[in-house]
Structure 1
């Protein structure tokens, strides 16, 4: 039984890194679990949604309603430059924040305490308020500056959860690989789920 307490909501950000499907699937799973979502998408994030998932992003409101609007919990989408939104303040209560996928540019700004938009400001709020901040970078190869920025974020209290799916659950499709990674994110969030087979789970139970 899902014993998840009533949530004050999670902030979910999507940036211009490859891997938009991770963010979309995470939002869908959170909403299905009854968890409110405060959604942020950078301009580059919208570009990736168009390029990777063929979203008709000229109709952004329509895209969000088609993919998230019919699910049980509610979501609020914030313009990325709305620096005066509630989530920009530490007095606005949330459970934490996930950025999936997280670009190296966004990660760099967070690691240096720069708040150039609502995504970066919200992440800064999570760190200063000691709330969970989970960053899901998707880049390869990595140079020393990338690694230093990840270390700085980790030292400040963030969790670096790279988009590195496992294979021990014997995935048979791209969807299973995506759900594995999203499940790992939800584990880091402390949210109960059963969206992928864990190590030690028997194949005979299927």
Structure 2
């Protein structure tokens, strides 16, 4: 329990001056008892005339102290609630940061997977619109980036210059059940057909250009 005390104001000097030492002593003891227990003193001397003014000061002082106590308690409760709110807010912000980091990490992974392939496409094939980018990412997800790169490489070797051309080749690879680059190269050899030459059968009578000099010239007949 906190120690209690009474205040002896400087103005009390004018109260105590007319009183004897015994009367002042009884008055101070009465103040202490009233402050601690609220018991009204039974004063018999001249101090009883001063008591009402001192009692009023004691009541005002008690009200002031009680007001501070209530205010301090309310402030402490408010501070406690604020601390709890701050802790909850901090926890929520940390969770949001973790979620944001996960999304950022996932986004970085996707960029690492698809963006280089888009660059390869543009460097070797040509322009790639937003629809093509989305479709290319879907092919990468289904087939894997290595296989998609192999298809793009073959299309480049064969002179393909549009997304439609590459998409058709990707669909072909899927329909053939290609799972790896080796599968694709086995069923669709890269460059196969690029070096094919058209050959014509030579006339049976040897070098027709050489024999052409021995042919009879055509003579226009007069009408």
Could you say whether these structures have the same fold, taking a TM-score greater than 0.5 normalized by the shorter chain as the test? no
Query: What TM-score results when the alignment is normalised by the length of structure 1?
Result: 0.19
Query: What TM-score results when the alignment is normalised by the length of structure 2?
Result: 0.18
Query: Larger Cα Rg: Structure 1 or Structure 2?
Result: 2
Going by fraction, where is helix more abundant, 1 or 2?
Answer: 2
State the structure with bigger RCO (CA 8 A, min sep 6), 1 or 2. Answer: 1
